[in-house]
Each structure stands twice: as C-alpha cells, then as structure tokens.
Structure 1
Amino acid sequence: MNFFKSAGAVLLGLVVIFALSHVTDVVLEKSGLMLLPFDSNPLWLKLFVTFYRTFYVFVGGYVTAKVSHANPMLHTIVLASIGTVLGILGAIAMWSEPPHWYPITLIILGWPSAWLGGKLRVKN
C-alpha cells in the first residue's frame, strides 16, 4: 500500500506540472502571444515560457512533498529525477528544432526547482 501512496504522490506532482504547463501554453497560443513553431517567438516570450515552466516544476515539487505520506524529500527527489529523464528525452526528440538552449535550460533548472519546492514544503 505504501508503494501506491508514494507513486501517487509523485504522479500527482507530474500531473500538476504537465497540466499547468499545458493550460498556460494553450492560453498563450489562443491569445496569439505564442506562435508555432516556438523559435518564431521573441526572446522575451521564450524566457517567460522558461520561467513559468520552471515555476510549475517548483509547484510540482511542493505538491509532491505535501501529499507524500512519509519522506517528502525522497518523493520530491524521485519526481525531480523522473522529470530530468523526461526532459532529456524531450530534448533528444526535439533537437532538430531550435532553440537548443531552451530544453537544456529546462533540464538544468528542473531538478533544483523541484527540490526547492519540496524543501519549502518540508520547512513549513
């Protein structure tokens, strides 16, 4: 039973990250602010997307730590590690599309962002 609680806490963190990112992307696309392909957007928008995705990873780490039944930081580290692997796979899959700095930045910022979210929850 503890395995399912642990897996659920990590899965919830992933769902929060994906859902928030997707909804924000859709709003930006529907409003006409974000263009496809992504490289056709101005630098300020690319940086904004990088910021909110990193913030959502922070939120996902916080949520994972909050709902974990025990060892909240361990659950957050598992979330961060899964996110890093998914980020690397995503970067590989999208490598033919510029800008290359974008997925690399998300990979670099993702792990510490999730960790900080979990740490903030544990501290409170």
Structure 2
Amino acid sequence: MIRGIRGAITVNENDEKEIIEAAERLLSETISANEIVPDDVASIFISATEDVDAAFPARALRNIEGWTYVPVMCMQELDVPGSLQKCIRIMIHVNTEKKQTEIKHVYLEGAAGLRPDL
C-alpha cells in the first residue's frame, strides 16, 4: 500500500539558508516520526508559497544521509488570498503497511495551525 505523509513548516525570511534548514528539519522530523527508510519511498513532492523562492527546498533532502536516489520535485503552491505565507509543504509517497490512522503528519512553526486536528 502506498500512503501519503504530509507536513509543513514556515520560514521567517525568504533566505536560502533558512529555506534549506527549515525543509531539512521538516523532512527529518517526518521521516523519524514515521520510521521511513529511503527504499520504501516512491517520491516526494515539496511545494512552497510564491514568497519562498530564494532556494529549492528539495535540496534539503540531499543533506540527509541515504536519501540520494529518492525522486523529489519542487513546485509552487497556489496563491490563495488569505492563505498562510512563507510556507513549505511536503508530501511523501511511501510504501507501508501502516493504516491511515497510524501515519504521523508533521506541522511545525506557523504551519501548526493548518491541521490542528492532526
């Protein structure tokens, strides 16, 4: 079974170093919380709001040991009026035996309010 694992984090500034560090933190915490190994991952999508363009957040995955060959793609999030700004979101497509209710979605910093139910 392939499952989607979501997460998001906000940055304070549109700064290359901050974007990469935030994305790496989000990815690392999501990987750890769900005990994901690279060989079980089909792909990862990373989106960012239009005000986060100083770096590709996907570069952060290459800082995590063992994740060199996992396909990753960046894209721009829809610019919906009133939506959360300076936000990086992830969707990890992972092969797992876990049930939907066992998946741990990770929302950090200002993104914690996106899914208070999780």
TM-score by length of 1: 0.37
TM-score by length of 2: 0.39
Q: Which is bigger in relative contact order (C-alpha 8 A, separation at least 6)?
A: 2
Q: Hey, which of these two has a bigger chunk of helix by percent?
A: 1
Q: Hey, which of these two has a bigger chunk of strand by percent?
A: 2
